């Protein structure tokens, strides 16, 4: 055993040294190694249901590298890290390298970082080390092992064939006859070796590769073109591929050897003993695996995130896909071995095999049933947890979305509700603010449902044990507190708006009442001032008495007017009292009127000042009208005497000129006496002129005491003087005519009688028609 370990160490150190010297690979060799090593790895990985595509990329996270080692070694490695970070990958690769090292392999210049970084040469070197350890090291032929043993095996198997001389693992295989010889030696029905030609290496190589892949389950690891086109094929690639032939054919050889041993009774007994030991060991290992696995499956510790639970699910799938299938095979094989052993013992007349306590097939089946039950429960728990986390993630996202929408909506609302804009607003603006506030309240009520949904989601997250419930609860509480505050601020603002509206409506009503009463009162005062300052013009004592009576009536209304003034001022004072009591900030003056209390008081004072002035003016005018009345009566008394006297004299003079009493000389004397009496009446006319002068100076334009005006008296007086003078002149002319023509008094009387006859209007004159008629009557022919 010591010799084997020493030889094993030497065998492995030599390939590592070779590899270090070959770090700078020939590109053609590197290409061959990539293909060969990839195919070799996949030939084992496919047993676990997977494969690789790019050898330096697919082993970087260490997961498939650990799986490859588990498949080719049949052992369980440490649990891999499932994270995606570099540290997780390095940890997995180190676990694989540690496992390789545990098999006595010294790794030189190969580190986990190079593998994780995708270093192609380091990755190929590592795979080659694995191939040496698990595919070549165990080869033993006639006291030689590993590479020498494999070479010796090839030489022995191909020795009978012509044109085949295997001396190495590179140029000896270029013509392909070596591969065909190995296949023909073990399976002659697969290849007609006699038809192969040494000068056609491509055909030979492709034939061997295709047959091996199709019938021997050896994957195609090399390309015929690469081998032929390379002066010296890569030794490691050839060794790897050839080792697959060794393992494929050595199995048949082992079966043959086992058959020979069965012939020996001792070998049978030893085999039975070995089967018993294998059963015990396999049962112990299987039970131990079940014992370790059940607690893992019964672990129901929940994860906080979906990613962590998905990792657990992935681990469970790996368990189902990678770890459990070999154990199922072991269990099946265990039952087969147990039945086989019992059969052999029965055929050999040996007592039945009784496994150790607790390792019966039934015990294993019971334990396996417990495993299956735990597995089923674990799977159900995983799915429920994933559904729960999916529900939690959905609820959490829904909570965040609704919370964000709500917080965005509430942003600035508290500041808006705390505004004091209503303090300086008018009534119309307050009403507009109330309408706006009602719209906001409707909007607030519409958002109540969202707040309740947020609270309900938060409650459900708590009930489902959401890992981030504290932050959710804090945010939900903040939203609820803010919502309560918004409600309180909304109610407070509504009360303030309604209170302000009520106050402003009261003030508005008072303003309106003030305007309704102030306007007519102001108009009354302005009319009163206008009347009191109006310059009156009267001509009679009755008119001034009427004005005086009206003024007295006006003064009688002043107490009531003063009460109205005080009532109006009281309305204004009520507004001022409300403003001071409730601290109302009035934005302007009375919108219904421009009349101020100061203006009312000013006009009232002015009215009070004008009243005595009006009294004085009326008294003065009354005295003046009394004086005028005396002048009227004085003038009227004289005019009523003078006027008729002038009229009488005019009539008397007219009668003298018409009537024919006495001679012309008598008439002339009579007229001269009238003229003398008229001249003696002149002083009365002058006195009347003096009275008239006083009336004019007093601006008296009418006189109810007489119908005669001074103009009438003057005209009558002048007519009287003119008439007396004209009549006197006519009589004088008649006397001259009579004396000159010798007309008798009788003729004169006749002429006078004719004239009076045709003076139908008795005016002392005849118009044209009367004069024509008169001429016709005295004999004048008026036709011509």
Most confident of 102-106, 547-551, 654-658: 547-551
- Is the pTM for the entire model greater than 0.75? no
Asked if residue 736 has pLDDT above 70, the reply is: yes
**For 153-211, how does the pLDDT look when each residue is reduced to its tens digit (9 = 90+)?**
999 899 999 889 999 999 999 999 999 999 999 999 999 998 999 999 999 999 999 99
Strand-pairing partners, residue 144, are 141
Q: State the pLDDT confidence band at 776, using cuts at 50, 70 and 90.
A: confident
Asked if residue 2 has pLDDT above 70, the reply is: no
Residue-level pLDDT at 175 = 92
**Which range is least confidently modeled, 38-42, 295-299, 635-639, 660-664?**
660-664
Residue-level pLDDT at 17 = 42
Residue-level pLDDT at 587 = 62
Strand, coil or helix: what is 141? strand
Q: State the pLDDT confidence band at 688, using cuts at 50, 70 and 90.
A: confident
Mean of all residue pLDDT scores within the chain? 83
> How many helices and strands (H and E) does the chain possess?
26, 2
Strand, coil or helix: what is 347? helix
Q: State the pLDDT confidence band at 480, using cuts at 50, 70 and 90.
A: very high
Other CB atoms within 10 Å distance of the CB of residue 338:
20
Percent of the chain at pLDDT exceeding 90:
17
d(CA 622, CA 674): 46
Residue of 2, 8, 130, 135 whose CA lies nearest to 69: 130
Mean pLDDT of 479-493: 90
Tokens of 225: 């073109």
**For 621-634, how does the pLDDT look when each residue is reduced to its tens digit (9 = 90+)?**
888 888 888 888 88
CB 641 within 8 A of CB 578: no
CA distances from 730 to 267, 387, 723, 727, 736 (A): 213, 156, 10, 5, 10
Residue-level pLDDT at 485 = 92
Mean pLDDT of 517-543: 86
Q: Helix 235-262 and helix 265-298: axis angle, to 10°?
A: 120
Asked if residue 523 has pLDDT above 90, the reply is: yes
Tokens of 144: 């030689």
Residue-level pLDDT at 9 = 36
Other CB atoms within 10 Å distance of the CB of residue 139:
20
Mean pLDDT of 479-490: 90
d(CA 572, CA 584): 15
d(CA 561, CA 564): 5
Percent of the chain at pLDDT exceeding 70:
90
**For 64-107, how does the pLDDT look when each residue is reduced to its tens digit (9 = 90+)?**
889 998 888 888 888 898 888 999 989 999 998 898 888 888 87
CB 212 within 8 A of CB 182: no
């Amino acid at each position: 055993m010591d010799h084997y370990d020493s030889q094993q160490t030497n065998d492995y150190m030599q390939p590592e040294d070779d590899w270090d010297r070959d770090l700078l690979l020939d590109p053609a060799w590197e290409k061959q190694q990539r293909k060969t090593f990839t195919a070799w790895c996949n030939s084992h990985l496919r047993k676990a249901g997977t494969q690789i595509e790019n050898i330096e990329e697919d082993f970087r996270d260490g997961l498939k590298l650990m799986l490859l080692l588990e498949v080719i070694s049949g052992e369980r490695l440490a649990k891999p890290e499932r994270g995606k970070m570099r540290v997780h990958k390095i940890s997995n690769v180190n676990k694989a390298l540690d496992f390789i090292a545990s098999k006595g392999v010294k790794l030189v210049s190969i580190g986990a970082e190079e593998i994780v970084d995708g270093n192609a040469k380091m990755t190929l070197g590592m795979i080659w080390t694995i191939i040496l350890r698990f595919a070549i090291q165990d080869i033993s032929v006639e006291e030689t092992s590993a590479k020498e043993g494999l070479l010796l095996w090839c030489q022995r198997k191909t020795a009978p064939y012509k044109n085949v001389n295997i001396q190495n693992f590179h140029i000896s295989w270029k013509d392909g006859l070596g591969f065909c010889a190995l296949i023909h030696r073990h399976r002659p029905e697969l290849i007609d070796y006699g038809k192969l030609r040494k000068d056609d290496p491509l055909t030979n190589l492709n034939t061997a590769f295709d047959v091996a892949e199709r019938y021997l389950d050896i994957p195609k690891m090399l390309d015929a073109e690469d081998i032929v086109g390379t002066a010296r094929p890569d030794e490691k690639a050839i060794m790897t591929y050839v080792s697959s032939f060794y393992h494929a054919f050595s199995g048949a050889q082992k079966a043959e050897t086992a058959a020979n041993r069965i012939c020996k009774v001792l070998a049978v007994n030893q085999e039975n003993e070995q089967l018993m030991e294998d059963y015990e060991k396999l049962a112990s290992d299987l039970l131990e695996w079940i014992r370790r696995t059940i607690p893992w499956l019964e672990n129901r510790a929940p994860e906080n995130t979906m990613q962590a639970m998905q990792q657990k699910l992935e681990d469970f799938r790996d368990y189902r896909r990678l770890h459990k299938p070999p154990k199922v095979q072991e269990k099946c094989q265990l039952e087969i071995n147990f039945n086989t052993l019992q059969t052999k013992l029965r055929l050999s007349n040996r007592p039945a095999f009784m496994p150790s306590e607790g390792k019966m097939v039934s015990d294993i089946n019971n334990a396996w049933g417990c495993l299956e039950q735990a597995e089923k429960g674990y799977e159900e728990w995983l799915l429920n947890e994933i559904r729960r986390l999916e529900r939690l993630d959905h609820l959490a996202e829904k909570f965040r979305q609704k919370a964000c929408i709500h917080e965005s909506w509430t942003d600035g609302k508290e500041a808006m509700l705390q505004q004091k804009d209503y303090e300086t607003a008018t009534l119309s603006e307050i009403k507009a603010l109330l309408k706006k506030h009602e719209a906001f309240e409707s909007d607030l009520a519409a958002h109540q449902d969202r707040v309740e949904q947020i609270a309900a989601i938060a409650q459900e997250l708590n009930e489902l044990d959401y890992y981030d419930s504290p932050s959710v609860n804090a945010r939900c509480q903040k939203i609820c507190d803010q919502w309560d505050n918004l409600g309180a601020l909304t109610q407070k603002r509504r009360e303030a708006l309604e209170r302000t509206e009520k106050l402003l409506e009261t003030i508005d009503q008072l303003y309106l009442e003030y305007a309704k009463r102030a306007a007519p009162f102001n108009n009354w005062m302005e009319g009163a001032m206008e009347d009191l300052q109006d310059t009156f013009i009267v001509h009679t004592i009755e008119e001034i008495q009427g004005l005086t009576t009206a003024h007295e009536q006006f003064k009688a209304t002043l107490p009531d007017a003063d009460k109205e003034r005080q009532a109006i001022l009281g309305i204004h004072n009520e507004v001022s009292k409300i403003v001071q009591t409730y601290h109302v900030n009035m934005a302007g003056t009375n919108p219904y009127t421009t009349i101020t209390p100061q203006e009312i008081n000013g006009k009232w004072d002015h009215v009070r000042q004008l009243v005595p002035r009006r009294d004085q003016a009326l008294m003065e005018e009354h005295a003046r009208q009394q004086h005028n009345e005396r002048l009227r009566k004085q003038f009227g008394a004289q005019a009523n005497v003078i006027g008729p006297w002038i009229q009488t004299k005019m009539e008397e003079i007219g009668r003298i000129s018409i009537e024919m009493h006495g001679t012309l000389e008598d008439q002339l004397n009579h007229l001269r006496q009238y003229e003398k009496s008229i001249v003696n009446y002149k002083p009365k006319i002058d006195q009347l002129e003096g009275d008239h002068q006083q009336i004019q100076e007093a601006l008296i334009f009418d006189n109810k005491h007489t119908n005669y005006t001074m103009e009438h008296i003057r005209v009558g007086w002048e007519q009287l003087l003119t008439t007396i003078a004209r009549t006197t002149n006519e009589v004088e002319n008649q006397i001259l005519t009579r004396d000159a023509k010798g007309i008798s008094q009788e003729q004169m009387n006749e002429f006078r009688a004719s004239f009076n006859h045709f003076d139908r209007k008795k005016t002392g004159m005849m118009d044209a028609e009367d004069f024509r008629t008169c001429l016709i009557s005295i004999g004048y022919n008026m036709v011509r």
